[in-house]
Amino acid sequence: MLANPQHRLCLWSGPRNVSTALMYAFANRSDTRVVDEPLYGHYLRVSGAPHPGADAVMAAMDCDAGSVIQNVILGPCDRPVLFHKSMAHHLVELDWSFLKQTTNLLLIRDPIEMLPSLGKVLSRPGLDDTGLKKQVELLNYLKALGQDVPVLDARELLLNPEHVLKQLCRRLDLGFEQGMLHWPAGPIYADGVWAPYWYENVHKSTGFQPYHSKTGPFPEKLRPLLADCQPYYRQLSDNAIKAD
């Protein structure tokens, strides 16, 4: 086991941002081990958020953030690259100093496309549930540490997966692998017990789906939340890797 992997990557995403597809892309690399949302149990424990299957999630994983950081995020790995897919809003009631030891990247999605999808899983989503405010705080924190933080936008990623992933790998000092673009249908070894509630579409996929803009009407009940989200999204999107 490697005590200190050459690359210890932490993806800080919001929900419904194709983050699971990105995790599957990294899982299909020859040199990478992936971990699915290691701080989810901690987040549910301290927030009391009414997520589907919350009790089963907390029963299935370590819910102590300090232990998770030490033993999972900064723990041993049997591959040169260790990739953690996490939600930015899980970074609550814990010490962020471990981020000095990780390479961090952000994944965002236009809230006008993300919120209708989130509203199908959470009955009353709020700004904290989107992760956007936390992502802005995180980006500022990491820049203050002197880190170069790649930002991916789901739309740009889906418009040109190969180009965006090549640019990402360059920023991460990794070689691009063609296998990142395709994977077998179905679940993978890393999926959390929450997969039945959140991963139906990605389990049907064998690669990144072509980008299609939302065509249905935006839910009126989510318009106040959309207005809250947009300034944070615009600030983040200015930093995103472009599709061309």
Residue 243 lies in a domain: no
C-alpha–C-alpha distance, residues 16 and 20, integer Å:
9
Residue 203 lies in a domain: yes
Residue 1 lies in a domain: no
**Which residues span the domain enclosing 98?**
7-237
Residue 142 lies in a domain: yes
C-alpha–C-alpha distance, residues 70 and 175, integer Å:
28
Residue 96 lies in a domain: yes
Burial of 176 (0-12, 13-18, 19+ CB in 10 A): middle
Token pair for residue 70? 């030490």
Q: What is the pLDDT along the chain (244 residues), one digit of tens a residue?
A: 454 566 999 999 998 889 999 999 999 999 999 999 999 999 999 999 888 889 999 999 999 999 999 999 999 999 999 999 999 999 999 999 999 999 999 999 999 999 998 888 888 899 999 999 999 999 999 999 999 999 999 999 999 999 999 999 999 999 999 999 999 999 999 998 988 887 888 899 999 999 988 778 999 999 999 999 999 999 999 999 999 8
CATH number for 176: 3.40.50.300
Give the model confidence (pLDDT) of 172-197 as tens digits: 999 999 999 999 999 999 998 988 88
Give the model confidence (pLDDT) of 127-140 as tens digits: 999 999 999 999 99
Residue 14 lies in a domain: yes
Residue 144 lies in a domain: yes
Residue 95 lies in a domain: yes
Q: What is the model's pLDDT at position 2?
A: 52
Domains identified in the chain, total number: 1
Q: What is the model's pLDDT at position 199?
A: 87
